[in-house]
């Protein structure tokens, strides 16, 4: 193995290929690229591709560039370009050199098209869509040659120029490669290289009337940029033949060290959809609040929800790279963020569904300051002030009139419990409203139990969290669940009807006063409740998004 071969990462088939190509001297260094089409926001599937491409470049001390694959004027938008740049940087990667746009190469693509015509390897075809389909044949049956296949070079050059000048209407003709109408690979049966579009392009405006097809533009862009390994998802496996054919038939690129394409399986996640078309539909039909809705698998949604970049990179490591198509359990993603946040998230207390507690033997008008660790396993993170007084809030679920069973480790009448970071209390009575809901619990505290067990040997097993009422801050909590009710909603034609009606539940409660100026997106562990972060949509209100529960409770 060569010096710059990393050894610490598991070796997958792509790393084997890179090692081979460096060892044989085919390439002196590695170059990859991440080529998003700017027609939507990036999602967690793209993160797999980003981590793979940029990660290999980092590990092999090579380069990875960011290229906007903007060859389709109709669906693309500058807003998407900005969001994609943001998301790649947020994930922790920096592209090599300037950002590239396929549209920068429009003139070159055109010149390569002329080269193919001159070699009698491309022709302008006027078959309409239906005829083209008919001529293409089927998987079982060879196609037949287009009548325009024999047009002379001179005439084809003239026709392509006219296409470019806008002399033909959309759909009237296309430029096709002349390959093999009997190829077992449908994509090799004289595929289209250029089509006519009268749409304005977000980078080149109205300059062009013809736009290159993905297969033509992608391999040439890779070659122009010096990409060595062009990594894409499995559905492009057959297109590799066309990728190779195009580069092998262009003089400038037909060299052993030209780019080669390698395919890996795409990420599919359970209970969500990933295709940009489907995500766009959810956004446009206002079934979610936007591309950054915290329930979406978009990177901006995950980030707003409190996922860290480190946890997403770790998730991608955990799932690995292979050629087997599969569905990934959401639990793997959730475990990755839990494991990260467990280490980094400061602890705090928040009451999500509050009821009042009156400590009857505590003096009125007195507020006591206590200290609690910011992270019980990491003393270096220091301590925070919390408060205690006669009036507190606890969570409704932490009180029962009568303990339902012996395992109940919460507060009940005549049953003691410890308030986290504070005293042991014992409930004596409670009030209810007209509907019988408990509103206030009356309790007494044992002043001799701060930071120690009762001296008379009483055993207090339960610990519940609380916030002191006079200093507590009102907060909104947004609790999220799976967006869909089915494991694979994307398979269904009406996937939008399979939304989980409880994917967002909003509650109002209280947090510690120290949460006043928390930074959006910064994760906290609300003890016993889960990981939360402040919402990142500009607002003075305290709104906390639940990132994930402390343990996997979903079934
Ligand atoms: P979508 O189907 O969501 O529109 P796409 O493949 O059309 O996705 P692109 O913008 O073309 O989206 O993708 C940019 C890169 O990200 C491509 O190299 C593509 O293979 C990769 N990619 C997209 N989706 C996934 C996924 N689910 N898993 C892994 N890689 C992906
Ligand atoms: Mg695409």
pLDDT tens-digit readout, 524-555:
999 999 999 999 997 889 999 999 999 987 65
Closest C-alpha residue for ligand 1 atom 1: 275
Q: Which ligand is nearest to the CA of 67?
A: 1
**Alpha carbon distance 469, 533 (integer Å):** 22
Distance of CA 498 to the CA centre of its chain: 21
Does residue 9 carry a pLDDT above 80? no
pLDDT value of residue 5? 52
| Intervals of CATH 3.40.50.620 along the chain | 13-264
| Intervals of CATH 2.40.240.10 along the chain | 354-370+384-465
Q: Per-residue confidence at 4, pLDDT binned at 50, 70, 90? A: low
**Alpha carbon distance 233, 261 (integer Å):** 10
Catalytic residue among 258, 276, 347, 482: 276
Rg (CA), the chain: 31
- Give the residue, out of 35, 40, 42, 46, with the most ligand 1 atoms within 8 A of its beta carbon, to mutate for a pocket test: 46
pLDDT value of residue 555? 56
Q: How far is the CA of 203 from the centre of ligand 1 (A)?
A: 21
Tell me what the mean pLDDT of segment 481-498 comes to. 91
Does residue 1 carry a pLDDT above 50? no
Domain spanning 13-264: which superfamily? HUPs (3.40.50.620)
Could you identify the atom of ligand 1 that is nearest to the CA of residue 277? 4
pLDDT value of residue 249? 98
Tell me what the mean pLDDT of segment 102-117 comes to. 97
Known catalytic residue: 48? no
Does residue 77 carry a pLDDT above 90? no
Q: Per-residue confidence at 228, pLDDT binned at 50, 70, 90? A: very high
Mean pLDDT, the chain, rounded, equals 95
Does residue 93 carry a pLDDT above 80? yes
Known catalytic residue: 313? no
- Beta 347-348 vs 523-526: how paired, if at all? parallel
CATH 1.10.1160.10 fits 276-346+476-548, yes or no: yes
Could you identify the atom of ligand 1 that is nearest to the CA of residue 38? 10
Could you identify the atom of ligand 1 that is nearest to the CA of residue 49? 30
Q: Per-residue confidence at 8, pLDDT binned at 50, 70, 90? A: low
Across-strand partners of 533?
523, 545
Tell me what the mean pLDDT of segment 375-399 comes to. 97
Catalytic residue among 15, 266, 356, 471: 266
Fold of 354-370+384-465: Ribosomal Protein L25; Chain P (2.40.240)
pLDDT value of residue 422? 98
Closest C-alpha residue for ligand 1 atom 9: 36
Known catalytic residue: 133? no
Identify the residues whose C-beta falls under 6 Å from ligand 1.
35-37, 45-46, 48-49, 232-233, 266-267, 274-276
Q: Per-residue confidence at 505, pLDDT binned at 50, 70, 90? A: very high
Q: Which residues contact 146 (CB under 8 A, 6 or more apart)?
A: 123, 125, 127, 132, 135, 176, 181, 190
Q: Per-residue confidence at 266, pLDDT binned at 50, 70, 90? A: very high
- Are 37 and 72 spatial neighbours (Cβ–Cβ below 8 Å)? yes
- Are 480 and 451 spatial neighbours (Cβ–Cβ below 8 Å)? no
| Intervals of CATH 1.10.1160.10 along the chain | 276-346+476-548
pLDDT tens-place string over residues 467-480: 999 999 999 999 99
pLDDT value of residue 2? 47
- Are 53 and 18 spatial neighbours (Cβ–Cβ below 8 Å)? no
**Alpha carbon distance 31, 11 (integer Å):** 18
Backbone torsion region of residue 521, taken as left when φ is above 0, otherwise alpha when ψ lies between -120 and 50, otherwise beta: left
pLDDT value of residue 497? 87
Token pair belonging to 237:
């496996």
Alpha carbon separation from 158 to 162, 167, 284, 455, 550 (Å, rounded) = 6, 11, 43, 99, 67
Q: Per-residue confidence at 129, pLDDT binned at 50, 70, 90? A: very high
Tell me what the mean pLDDT of segment 142-164 comes to. 98
Closest C-alpha residue for ligand 1 atom 15: 36
Mapping DSSP onto H, E and C, the string for 27-56 reads CCCCEEEECCCCCCCCEHHHHHHHHHHHHH
- Give the residue, out of 43, 49, 93, with the most ligand 1 atoms within 8 A of its beta carbon, to mutate for a pocket test: 49
Does residue 73 carry a pLDDT above 90? no
- Give the residue, out of 80, 233, 278, with the most ligand 1 atoms within 8 A of its beta carbon, to mutate for a pocket test: 233
Q: How far is the CA of 343 from the centre of ligand 2 (A)?
A: 37
Does residue 68 carry a pLDDT above 80? yes
């Amino acid at each position: 193995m060569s010096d710059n071969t990393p050894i610490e990462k598991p070796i997958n088939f792509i790393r084997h290929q890179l090692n081979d190509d460096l060892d044989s001297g085919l390439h002196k260094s590695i170059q990859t690229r991440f080529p998003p089409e700017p027609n939507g926001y990036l999602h967690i599937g793209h993160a797999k591709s980003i981590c793979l491409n940029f990660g290999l470049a980092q590990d092999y001390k090579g380069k990875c560039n960011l290229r906007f694959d903007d060859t389709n004027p109709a669906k693309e938008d500058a807003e998407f370009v900005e969001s994609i740049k943001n998301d790649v940087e947020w994930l922790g990667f920096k592209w090599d050199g300037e950002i590239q746009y396929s549209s920068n190469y429009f003139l070159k693509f055109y010149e390569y098209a002329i080269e193919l015509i001159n070699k009698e390897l491309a022709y302008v075809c006027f078959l309409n869509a239906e005829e083209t389909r008919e001529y293409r044949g089927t998987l079982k049956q060879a196609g037949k040659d287009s009548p325009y296949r024999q047009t002379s070079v001179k005439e084809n050059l003239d026709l392509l120029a006219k296409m470019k000048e806008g002399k033909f209407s959309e759909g009237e003709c296309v430029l096709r490669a002349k390959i093999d109408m009997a190829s077992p690979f449908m994509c090799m049966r004289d595929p289209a290289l250029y089509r006519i579009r009268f749409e304005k392009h977000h980078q080149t405006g109205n300059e062009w009337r013809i736009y290159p097809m993905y297969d033509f533009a992608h391999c040439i862009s890779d070659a122009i940029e010096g990409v060595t390994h062009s990594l894409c998802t499995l559905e492009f496996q057959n297109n590799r033949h066309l990728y190779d054919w195009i580069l092998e038939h262009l003089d400038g690129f037909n060299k052993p060290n030209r780019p080669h394409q390698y395919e890996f399986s795409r990420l599919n996640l359970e209970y969500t959809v990933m295709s940009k078309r489907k995500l766009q539909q959810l956004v446009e039909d206002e079934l979610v609040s936007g591309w950054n809705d915290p329930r979406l698998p978009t990177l901006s949604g995950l980030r707003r929800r409190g996922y860290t970049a480190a946890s997403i990179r770790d998730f991608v490591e955990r799932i690995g790279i292979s050629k087997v198509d599969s569905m990934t359990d959401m639990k793997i993603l959730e475990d990755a963020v839990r494991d990260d946040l467990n280490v980094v998230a400061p602890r705090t207390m928040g009451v999500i569904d509050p009821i009042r507690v009156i400590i009857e033997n505590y003096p009125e008008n007195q507020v006591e300051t206590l200290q609690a660790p910011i992270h019980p396993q990491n003393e270096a993170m220091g301590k925070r002030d919390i408060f205690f007084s006669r009036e507190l809030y606890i969570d409704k679920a932490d009180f029962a009139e009568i303990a339902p069973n012996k395992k109940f480790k919460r507060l009940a009448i005549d049953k003691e419990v410890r308030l986290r970071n504070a005293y042991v209390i014992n409930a004596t009575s409670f009030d209810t409203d007209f509907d019988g809901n408990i509103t206030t619990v009356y309790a007494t505290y044992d002043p001799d139990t701060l930071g120690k067990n009762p001296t008379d040997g009483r055993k207090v097993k339960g610990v519940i969290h609380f916030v002191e009422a006079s200093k507590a801050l009102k907060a909104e909590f947004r609790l999220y669940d799976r967006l869909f009710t089915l494991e694979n909603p994307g398979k269904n034609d009406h996937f939008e009807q399979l939304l989980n009606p409880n994917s967002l539940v909003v509650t109002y409660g209280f947090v510690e006063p120290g949460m006043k100026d928390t930074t959006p997106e910064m994760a906290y562990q609300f003890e016993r409740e889960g990981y939360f972060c402040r919402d990142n949509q500009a607002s003075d209100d305290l709104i906390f998004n639940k990132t994930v529960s402390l343990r996997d409770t979903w079934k």
